[in-house]
A = this chain, B = another copy of it.
């Protein structure tokens, strides 16, 4: 893949990893520092920071450093984008079922 990733690519890719989802899960309960995010994960700090970078690149998480502590938080609007894609698919699907229903009803009548 020639690194022409769309926001949606980056978003779903970011959510495809259980460690990163655990970080998002933690952040949905409120902001946290990098080491707080790292605590439940069985890996080195640099690894966690790399996951964090993936999350930030996807837009799902933002962070800022104050003193020596980097505090992270969810960007809900970004998560919404991914959710919306799925909602759109479902709507298309439901419209299709409606049309199918109409068609069958017509058959019944005719």
Of A28, A79, A90, most B-chain CB atoms within 10 Å: A28
Oligomeric state, in copies: 2
- Chain A at the B interface: mostly helix, strand, loop or mixed? helix
CB of A89 within 8 A of CB of B16, answer no
CB of B16 within 8 A of CB of A93, answer no
CB of B24 within 8 A of CB of A18, answer no
From B8, B16, B17, B24, contact of A21 by CB (8 A): B8
8 pairs, A vs B, C-beta closer than 8 Å: A1-B17, A8-B18, A9-B16, A12-B15, A13-B16, A25-B92, A28-B89, A79-B89
A: which residues have CB within 8 A of B? 1, 6, 8-9, 12-13, 15-18, 21, 24-25, 28-30, 74, 76, 79, 82-83, 85-87, 89-90, 92-93, 96
